[in-house]
Amino acid sequence: MGRAGQPRRLTVAQAMQAAPREDFLPPALRDRAGQDVPLPIGHGATSSQPSTVATMLRLLDVRSGHRVLDVGAGSGWTTAVLARLVGASGSVLGVELEAPLAQEAERRLRRAGLAQASVRTAVPGVLGWPEGAPYDRILVSAMAPRWPQELVEQLVDGGRLLVPLDGRLVLARRRGRRVHRREAPGWYRFVPLR
């Protein structure tokens, strides 16, 4: 327990250890899980580079009890890490455009015992999951071709959105109708957001 009887907050590194990447990879790739590289998981998707995932999650500042949307859930690994960060009192909804990936990610989450997390097949032409909104945090794990205003509208007041845009990681904070954006240092590559 942490201060004043509050549950101790997991660090991103602890959450990543509690949701091992190899548990969310196809069998042929499990021996490469420790490599700090993106790994192809089929259907034009990848399991993101672990150091990039760690950077994104630190910037997003996910807390226990948060409601999180994970756009581009892929194998379900990042959804699982987010589930460890939100704990049993929070929830994580992953959305993935490719139905076979979404179904396998959901199976992996069930095997991991993460009842607070699920992955659904994204609705073509709809960004995010508006009917589940609002969310405290939204993570996008694919390069957006434009600013995703429709995701900002799915945030709670005070919520945060992290999205790769033009090779940069952009963190947005919603304050009422205003959105404050800042770019994180560095350049990043992702599969395109579709």
| Model pLDDT for residues 112-145, shown as the tens digit of each residue | 999 999 999 999 999 999 999 999 999 999 999 9
- The answer to the question of residue 30 being in a domain is no
Global pTM value: 0.94
High-pLDDT (> 90) share of the chain, %: 94
pLDDT at 43: 95
Higher pLDDT, 7 or 10: 10
| 170 part of a folded domain | yes
Residue 31 within a domain? no
Give yes or no for residue 168 having a pLDDT over 70: yes
Does residue 141 have an active-site annotation? Answer: no
Q: How many domains does the chain have?
A: 1
162, part of any domain: yes
pLDDT tens, residue by residue, 50-93:
999 999 999 999 999 999 999 999 999 999 999 999 999 999 99
User: According to the model, what pLDDT value does residue 157 have?
Assistant: 98
For residue 70, the enclosing domain spans 8-22+40-183
How far is Cα 26 from Cα 167, in angstroms, rounded to an integer?
27
Place of tokens 């992702």: 190
For 2-11, 108-117, 143-152, 163-172, which range has the lowest pLDDT when averaged over its residues?
2-11
| From 48, 75, 118, 141, active-site residue | 48
In a domain, 73, yes or no: yes
Task: Provide mean pLDDT across the span 140-168.
Answer: 97
- Residue 146 in any domain: the answer is yes
33 in a structural domain: no
Position 3 pLDDT exceeds 80: no
Instruction: With respect to residue 192, please indicate whether it lies within any of the assigned structural domains.
Output: no
CATH number at residue 166: 3.40.50.150
pLDDT at 1: 45
Residue 194: predicted pLDDT: 86
Contact 192, 180 (CB under 8 A): no
